Structures are given as C-alpha cells and as structure tokens.
C-alpha cells in the first residue's frame, strides 16, 4: 500500500506492507484523509521533542475491511466510519482510570494516539470508531480532528458556566478549526465574534455565520465598545500574538480557552501578575475530544448544523505541495486527500 512517511524530516511516499489488525483492531480502507495544521508542525519540526521520522496523518473516513480478534463487538466489515479523535488518545485508553471515567481518555496513563492515516489502509482500535450515516460525505474527514477539537472547546463554555446568548471571541476564526467553532458556537446559541487577518478571511468568517467579523489589530477596541469585553475567548491561532489578543479581549472574570499549539520558537505565554489580578480570568486548555463527543458532532453534521469548508483537495502525491500551501495560508478551511493510491 502507499503511505506517507517522514524520514528525518523529509516527506516520502513509500510502498509499505498492508497492516494486519491485532486484538480489538479494525483494518480500514481509507477513503479520504484530512490535513491538519499539526501534521505540518510535525513535518517542519516546529515542536521540540516530537519525532520527525515515521508515518503521519490522524483524521480519516474509510470502510472496515477486516477485523482482529474481539473487534466484532464494536464494528462490522463494511461499516463506513470516521477515525482519529484528534490523534491524541484515539488509539487506546484503559476505560477504568479516573481520567477515562470522567471522559478525559487522553490523560489516561495507557493512552495511545492515532497516527498514520496518510495511507491506503490503516489499523485502528475498533472502540474509537464512529459509524457514519450516508448524509455525511467523505469530504468531512477533517471532522475527526479539526471539527472534534472545535466541538470540545465550545462545549467547555457550558462546563464553565458561559451561557448561550453571551459574546464569545473566536481568534483564528478563518482557519481549519476556527470555521468549525463559528458554526458550533452559533448552534449552541452564542454571539460569535470572529477575529482574523485580511478582508478575504473576514468575509469568509462572516459567511460561516459570525455575528461580527473583526481585524485582529482592531479587535480589542471594537469588542470593548460593542460588548465591554467578551465572556470567553477561544484561541485557535498558532501564534503567541493570538494568545495575547485572546486574553486582551476578555471582560473581567472571563474564560480563556487555548486550543492552538504555537511552534516552540514562539516562546511562552506571559502574564502580568497585576493585570491577572485585576481581570481574574479562568485559563484552560482544550484538546480534541472523546468518542462520545465525536458521535455528537457527527449528529450535528448529519443535521446540517456543521459542515467542513474544503479549500483544497488533492492526491497523496501532492501532500508536500499542500503542506507548502497550508504554511503560506493559500486557502481557508481544510484540505482533504481523496486519492490515496497516487
């Protein structure tokens, strides 16, 4: 089978043996796979300590081709499924520790991620699969990470008592995750302030349903004037400037939800203790989601409340070029590979 691998940071399309599903695993014939910004970070070596050798890719839709021992309890041959769970924690979790029992399997000490979906076939733990209705097309593969990550972040607003009807800023709103968050926050009933850079991207933010779309450099003044600050900022930007802006947009006692993972070279998040004291925000990080979140998101997609905006479609052989385009910001929304055999 054809698959993408990094060899010391160099992207190669290789012919690899077809994997055999192990205990409770399913072999998936990949129909489509999404390209996430984190794939680019890994390929470019942006995160210190993350290996740059091995297979990559972590969001996909496909058909179950074979089952390992015990997997028949969770999937059937011929099932059309979505897989990925954001890559982190989707490959295995114990199900019995305190983290698993409270719906946070990525913190499980036995957790394993999913990586390697830039391939014609892929083996995955069958418990993490979510069956798809026909109404959710193959182009929705990025829901497996981008959509799920956005859903998990918006869902945390309710957990932290940010009620529907309140103003929420989405920083990096035109991006692969931000455009999902606009739709999901709208569906939840929030007033969405989309923040990004450039007229074209702001038009896209409006088209996704934001109540207000503002340029990053003007956002603090406009948000203060219109709302007196937002109740929550969800930051999808992979730049520290986006984190700083998200904090600046908050009203007193607001909620800051970090989602983006800037390159290590961007440095650290810095807080002025006096400003921290005065504003008294709640700061949390939100990463991916669990299998129940994925089921809920699939239901939203099936009902038309959430849809992937696909800015680029290509073959596996074009992966390097698509990475370059993603890095240069040449498209909005998501990129999908729908031809894994070339």
Mention every residue, 6+ apart, whose C-beta is less than 8 A from residue 150: 177, 178, 180, 181, 184, 236, 259
Rounded to 5 degrees, what angle do the CA atoms 26, 37, 118 make? Answer: 35
Mean pLDDT of all residues belonging to the chain:
95
* Residue 161 and residue 121 in one domain: no
Q: Which of these three, 240, 268, 285, is where a domain ends?
A: 285
With cut-offs at 50, 70 and 90, classify the pLDDT of residue 281.
very high
| pLDDT digits 0-9 by tens, 111-136 | 998 999 999 999 999 999 999 999 99
Phi, psi values for residue 269, rounded to 5°: -75, 130
CATH code for the domain of 123 = 3.90.180.10
pLDDT digits (tens, 9 = 90+) for 172-181: 999 999 999 9
Domain range for 211 is 150-285
Quote the tokens at residue 158: 């309710």
> In the listed set 285, 300, 316, which residue is the last one of a domain according to the structure?
285
3-class SS string, 120-148: CEEEEEHHHCEECCCCCCHHHHHHHCHHH
Distance CA 325, CA 38 (A): 14
147-160: per-residue pLDDT in tens? 999 999 999 999 99
Token digits of residue 154: 């918006």
Residues 255 and 154 in one domain: yes
Q: Render pLDDT for 85-110 as a digit per residue (tens, 0 to 9).
A: 877 778 999 999 999 999 899 899 99
In 3-state terms, what secondary structure has residue 257? Answer: strand
Check which CATH number belongs to the domain holding 214 and give it. 3.40.50.720
Split into its structural domains, the chain has a count of 2
- Among residues 98, 158, 138, the alpha carbon closest in space to that of 293 is found at 158
């Amino acid at each position: 089978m054809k698959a993408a691998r990094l060899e010391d940071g160099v992207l190669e399309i290789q012919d690899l043996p077809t994997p055999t599903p192990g205990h409770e695993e399913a072999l998936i014939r990949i129909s489509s796979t999404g390209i996430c910004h984190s794939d680019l970070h890994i390929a470019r070596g942006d995160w210190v300590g993350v290996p740059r050798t091995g297979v990559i890719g972590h969001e996909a839709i496909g058909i179950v081709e074979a089952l390992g021992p015990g997997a028949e309890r969770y999937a059937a041959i011929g099932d059309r499924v979505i897989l990925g769970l954001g890559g982190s924690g989707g490959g295995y979790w114990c199900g019995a520790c305190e983290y698993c029992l409270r719906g946070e399997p990525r913190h499980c000490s036995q957790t394993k991620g999913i990586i390697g979906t830039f391939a014609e076939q892929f083996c995955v733990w069958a418990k993490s699969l979510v069956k798809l209705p026909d109404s959710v097309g193959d182009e929705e593969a990025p829901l497996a990470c981008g959509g799920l990550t956005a859903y998990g972040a918006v869902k945390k607003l309710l957990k932290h008592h940010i009620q529907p009807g309140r103003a929420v800023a989405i920083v990096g709103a035109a991006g692969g995750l931000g455009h999902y968050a606009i739709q999901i926050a709208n569906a939840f009933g929030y007033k969405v302030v989309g923040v990004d850079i450039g007229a074209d991207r702001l038009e896209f933010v409006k088209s996704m349903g934001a109540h207000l779309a503002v340029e990053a450099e003007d956002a603090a003044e406009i948000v203060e004037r219109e709302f007196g600050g937002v109740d929550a900022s969800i930051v999808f930007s992979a730049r520290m400037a986006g984190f700083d802006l998200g904090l600046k947009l908050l009203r007193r006692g607001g909620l800051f939800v970090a989602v983006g993972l800037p390159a290590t070279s961007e440095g650290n998040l810095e807080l002025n203790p006096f400003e921290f004291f005065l504003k008294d925000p709640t700061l949390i990080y939100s990463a991916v989601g669990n299998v129940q979140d994925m089921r809920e998101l699939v239901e939203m997609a099936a009902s038309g409340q959430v849809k992937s905006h696909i800015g680029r479609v290509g073959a596996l052989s074009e992966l390097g070029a698509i990475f370059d385009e993603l890095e240069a910001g040449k498209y909005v929304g998501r990129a999908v590979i729908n031809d894994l055999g070339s």
